[in-house]
Amino acid sequence: MTVTLRHPNAEEYAQWSAAQLEAYVDELVASGSMSREAAEEKGRRDAAELLPEGLASPGQLIFRMEADGQSVGWLWLALRNPRAEAGVGFVYDIAVDEALRGRGYGRAAMRLAEDEARRNGLHAIALNVFGHNAIARALYASLGYRETSVQMRKEL
């Protein structure tokens, strides 16, 4: 299995953008951190802030993940983490197509993200992972990522 990254065309980006927003909203709601209405507003606001020029947004690298020529998912790497010092990138999204999960594509994509970060002069990568996503948390830990903060919430 050879996993590669390539830049999407405008049509692919539009499809990803809509699907990514929907998935992000679903994750925010599933995490219990906010209502669907609030999550939808946050998703739209975040997208407008981070990707004001779509694919041409400065410092934002969006890739299709492919394995042996077949599309297997998406990776979004920012070359600047707004909550960290210079030189730290941020993985905003890594999504392996649901039917293809558990085959090592996510692990391979994260290694490629690290290579891309190094090529761009970064010394670290950060990311957020929802607490309920045990599979992703285990993947990141196995790749050497460590928790730097934990958010908690209690409904009253």
- Per residue, what are the HEC states of 92-152? EEEEECHHHCCCCHHHHHHHHHHHHHHHCCCCEEEECCCCCCHHHHHHHHHCCCCCCCCCC
Residue ranges covered by each domain of the chain:
3-142
- The answer to pTM > 0.85 is yes
Residue 101 is predicted with a pLDDT of 92
pLDDT at 152 over 90: no
Residue 151 is predicted with a pLDDT of 83
Superfamily of domain 3-142: Gcn5-related N-acetyltransferase (GNAT) (3.40.630.30)
Q: How far apart are CA 4 and CA 71, in angstroms?
A: 10
pLDDT at 55 over 80: yes
pLDDT at 140 over 80: yes
pLDDT at 153 over 80: no
Residue 81 is predicted with a pLDDT of 77
Residues 61, 109 contacting (CB under 8 angstroms): no
Residue 1 is predicted with a pLDDT of 78
Residue 33 is predicted with a pLDDT of 87
